[in-house]
Amino acid sequence: MSSELEQTSQAWTRAWLEQDAATVDKLMAAGYVYITPTGQLLDRATILDVVKSPEYRASGSRSEVSIIRQGTDTAILVSRWQGRVSYQGRLFEEDHRCTSVFVRDDHGWRVAAEHASAIGGKPG
């Protein structure tokens, strides 16, 4: 994985864990979308509302990271996320296989889309 892309991926994960909405906003592509483990489609504005919420808390780690390059300005990051997320009074124990699409523009790498699938069929 390129150093710049690796740094962006790590900054993205850290921003979520630290509820750093400014960094999440900066690293999201304009048309960002997230598909939840239950199939719900969340847009950029919804995701920013989540990370800004005082009801949002996350802990955990990303592992099993691999990169599939698609030319010079697109990459697919495949990883495993294991953690705990609390949001709107609900606690989620998460073990997900994740796919993140990164695109590079004039400002560097941005996250354009993400999808999470529960490992072992446990939605969360």
pLDDT in tens, 19-52: 999 999 999 999 999 999 999 999 999 999 999 9
Reported as a single tens digit per residue, the pLDDT across 63-95 is: 999 999 999 999 999 999 999 999 989 998 999
Can you tell me which residue has the tokens 């030319």?
71
Model confidence band, residue 3 (pLDDT cutoffs 50, 70, 90):
confident
- Model pTM score: 0.88
Is residue 124 over pLDDT 90?
Answer: no
Mean pLDDT of 105-118: 95
Q: How far apart are CA 42 and CA 40, in angstroms?
A: 6
- Long-range contacts formed by 119-124: CB under 8 A, 24+ apart: 119/80, 119/95, 120/95, 122/93, 122/95, 123/37, 123/38, 124/37, 124/85, 124/92, 124/93, 124/94, 124/95, 124/96
Task: Choose among 21, 50, 14, 47: nearest CA to 114.
Answer: 47
Q: How far apart are CA 69 and CA 91, in angstroms?
A: 35
